[in-house]
Amino acid sequence: MTTWDDELGRRSAGPQRHRLLQGYPMLPLMRPAVEARRGAFMERRVDGELRLVPMPHLSGEQQEEHREASEPAWVQPDASRPLLVGVLPHSQCNPRVEGCGFCTFPHDPFDKQLLRVSACTVVDQIGAFFGAEPEMKKRRVDAVYFGGATANLTPAANLTAIGEALGRHLDLRGAELTLEGIPSLFRSLLRGPFEALLDMPARHRRLSMGVQTFDEAALGRMGRQGFGDVKDIAKVIAKAHRKEMTVSGDFLINLPSEPRAQMLADVGRAASLGFDQICVYHLVLVEGQGTPWAEDAAMMAALPSAEEACAHWLAVREALLARGYVQTTLTNFERAELQATDRRFVYEEHSFTPERYDALGFGPFAISTFTDPARRRAVKLMRGKSIRESSSWNAGDLFFPYAEEDLRLLFLTRNLARLRVDRATYRGLFGADLGAHFGEALVAVEAAGLATLSAASLTLTPRGMFHADAVAGLLAWPRVEALRARGGGRRTRDLLKEKPGFPDFMG
């Protein structure tokens, strides 16, 4: 029989993925939002209800049969809970190497016509959703994130149309707005995505740039030569600061054959350039992952061991702290003078507090979650790659209903991404201490030096931050084993092979 210590050891020795950032449950445990039914159209609602859409051609007997397959609402959405909004305008990127060689986001090559179609479909999806869910318009919105593959590939006119669609239904004046993308596309001399973001009402605006590394040889292996060099990045940061925006940069460490000196040089240069937030991700590269680098034996052989990768991470973390950055989440480091103000990065912070915030997503692979604390339930809904004008979730979309045991894991794993779980908050939500629900797993985690358990909190150690995937996996281990057979079984590598379709436009 496998012990908790053995299981944690096995997980810690393997690749440390970023499951805490994606949230529980992972994709394979979600099930189809709607099972295919001949002659009938079923739809999944925002509260988890599965219902038959009335269709005149169905006989009374057929309609009754399909109604029996319906499911009642799982949660009661609360209009007093604030919203986070995520918008993925499309699923496209344009590196010279497929997926930069390592990226597991199920993206597609650049096609301007299809990109515009996707962005237009998102506008229609927003309108259809709020037309069917008018109560959602009353929600306070604290943050909006335009992300996905390469969000700033979206033409300015399309991005403006999406912003206007949101603004017709939600008050964005109190929200933080973030636009994600590559540096070079923020430097347009004409009206571009940068200017489109400026025109949207907001409390605060941010840019998030995917830099990865300043090493030119590594960028060449990724096919990112045209994404912007150091001069481009410096000019984008200066341009953003002139407009009172803040800027974050995403960096990778533990690339194949990458020396620690290069990792430290990358974050040192990022700090010198004036990034307000520096987000550090260790490379996730696993055999069978389905990406080009994962199929390259030389690349795989050049990866550091788990212990070496952890040591690199600890050194990079210390370097950023020494430069005056504060670690706010597993991956995010923010300038201390900014972190103490209302200009700090709140979208990520709030997304890790499901006890307070609901999330609403639009576009391909967008995720929505709605929590019902009183009933200790929640729902997670994920749009498919082939989006359509629809207020509901249909064939190709995914769904997960959280029972109380699942909601505990959602709370625990999301809060761990913020480095600390408050025990009093847990007791208030679930009527018992987290030790009563996860005692054996917590003993193993603390014994391994990955977390400390005090009377007030469960807190990750620096080593535990690197091995957070193993910690989360251990906590969820029994529940995942129980749910596995019921899940849809779809993995990211399956989505990588899908092609987008737009039946409403392309038929």
The sign of the CA dihedral 70, 74, 76, 79 is negative
Contacts of 141 (CB under 8 A, 6+ apart): 82, 83, 84, 85, 170, 171, 172, 174, 175
Distance CA 162, CA 121 (A): 10
pLDDT at 67: 66
Q: 83-351 architecture in CATH?
A: 2-Layer Sandwich (3.30)
pLDDT at 506: 41
Half-sphere exposure of 84 (CA within 13 A, CB side): 25
Under 8 Å between Cβ of 77 and 372: yes
How does strand 332-335 pair with strand 325-327? Answer: antiparallel
Q: Which residues on adjacent β-strands are paired with residue 85? A: 144, 360
pLDDT at 505: 46
Q: How far is CA 94 from CA 91, 150, 226, 252, 283, in A?
A: 11, 8, 10, 19, 20
Q: How many CB atoms lie within 10 A of CB 440?
A: 13
Distance CA 483, CA 480 (A): 5
Under 8 Å between Cβ of 223 and 101: yes
Reported as a single tens digit per residue, the pLDDT across 7-64 is 999 999 988 877 666 679 988 899 999 976 666 678 999 999 998 876 666 666 666 6
- Token pair belonging to 272: 């010198």
Distance CA 263, CA 236 (A): 22
Q: Where does residue 453 rank: exposed (0-12), middle (13-18), buried (19+ CB within 10 A)?
A: middle
Under 8 Å between Cβ of 98 and 149: no
Under 8 Å between Cβ of 32 and 398: yes
In angstroms, the first-to-last Cα distance of the chain is: 55
Determine the length of the chain: 507
Bin 244: left if φ > 0, else alpha if -120 < ψ < 50, else beta: left
Domain 1-20+420-486: which CATH number of 1.20.120, 1.10.10, 1.10.3470, 1.10.1740: 1.10.10
Domain range annotation of the chain:
1-20+420-486, 83-351
Sheet with 420-422, edge to edge strand ranges: 420-422, 457-460, 451-453
What pLDDT tens digit does each residue of the chain (507 aa) get?
899 999 999 999 988 877 666 679 988 899 999 976 666 678 999 999 998 876 666 666 666 666 667 899 999 999 999 999 999 999 999 888 887 888 877 778 889 999 999 999 999 999 999 999 999 999 999 999 999 889 999 999 999 999 999 999 999 999 999 999 999 999 987 899 999 999 999 999 999 999 999 999 999 999 998 899 999 999 999 999 999 999 999 999 999 999 999 999 999 999 999 999 999 999 998 888 888 899 999 999 999 999 999 999 999 999 999 999 999 999 999 999 999 999 999 999 999 999 999 999 999 999 999 999 999 999 999 999 888 888 999 988 999 999 999 999 999 999 999 999 999 999 999 999 999 999 999 999 999 999 999 999 999 999 999 999 999 999 999 999 999 877 776 666 666 667 777 654 443
E-assigned strand segments in 136-181: 141-146, 176-181
pTM of the model: 0.94
**3-state SS class at 38:** coil
DSSP state at residue 2: -
Under 8 Å between Cβ of 453 and 436: no
Residue whose C-alpha is closest to residue 128's, from 387, 416, 346:
387
Question: What share of residues in the chain are helix, strand, coil (percent, to 5)?
Answer: 45, 20, 35
Distance CA 146, CA 179 (A): 5
- Token pair belonging to 361: 């997503």
Q: Where are the alpha helices (DSSP H) in 293-368?
A: 297-301, 306-322, 336-339, 346-351
| CB burial string 201-224: b at 16+ within 10 A, e below | ebbbbbbbbbbbbbbeebbebbbb
Please determine whether the domains at 1-20+420-486 and 83-351 fall in the same fold group of CATH: no
